[in-house]
Amino acid sequence: MQIKKRNIGLTVDDSLMRVYVAAPEPAGQYPGILFYGDIFQLGRPITLLADRLAGYGYIVAAPEIFHRTEPIGTAIEPGDLGLMRGSDNARRTAIAEYDADGLAVLEWLKDEDSVLSKKLGTIGFCIGGHLAFRAAFQSQVKATVCCYPTGIHNGELGRGKADTIERADEIEGEVLTVFGSLDSFVPPEGRDKILQALNKAGVRHETLLYKADHVFMRNDGYRYDPVATDDAWVKITEFFESVLG
């Protein structure tokens, strides 16, 4: 399915937040997806993933998570300096601010004529996986995909300690988690803690585990694993179709 792309601006807490929107080209109504990138924001490797998902028949809306601390349109260059810069942005953003951003995008999706407002989902990568998990606290979110989500197991997200894992019982929709067994950012004990919390909360969920490293779905780094990415993508799109289709 061909897609069309545009940028919109949403004002949250008196800060203008750019949202990259990818949508199917054919006119119609489609499920909506709140899409979170990683700590480097919306560089082309991330927007390519958003475009790919839109091609399966979804309105995909990806916010810049550091709009309060970075100029509009900033894509941070991966690497040691980029990681320091992204981590500093994350540290200076309050957890409540992240939540407000996610809610703003979900409300925008609900109000769009081309979006099936009762079929909303979310997906995120790295820090975005954590943010997608928190977005799932909203009852309108029916399907959530968290790809190698950092900080859920230890409360690291932004300014202050995140209560994410303690709030797993607020999730009403279904969840798919995607992990790499070589990922030191989400070690085995961290994965287990997340899955145990979902089990305890009675959340309907499934998980995928690949022999891969952190951010293995980014196609611009040494950790990229195209085979694991392709397999994960098949299962991610099947999951969204089963819940939102």
In this prediction, residue 126 has a pLDDT band, given cuts at 50, 70 and 90, of very high
In this prediction, residue 207 has a pLDDT band, given cuts at 50, 70 and 90, of very high
d(CA 63, CA 192): 29
pTM > 0.75: yes
From 124, 114, 165, select the one nearest 144 (Cα to Cα). 124
pLDDT in tens, 145-162: 999 999 999 999 999 999
pLDDT in tens, 7-50: 999 999 999 999 999 999 998 999 999 999 999 999 999 999 99
From 176, 193, 101, select the one nearest 138 (Cα to Cα). 101
CB within 8 Å of 108: residues ≥ 6 apart: 8, 10, 19, 61
Domain count, the chain: 1
Could you give the angle at the alpha carbon of 138 between the alpha carbons of 134 and 140, nearest 5°? Answer: 135
Q: Domain limits at 218?
A: 3-244
CATH number, domain with residue 100: 3.40.50.1820
In this prediction, residue 219 has a pLDDT band, given cuts at 50, 70 and 90, of very high
In this prediction, residue 230 has a pLDDT band, given cuts at 50, 70 and 90, of very high
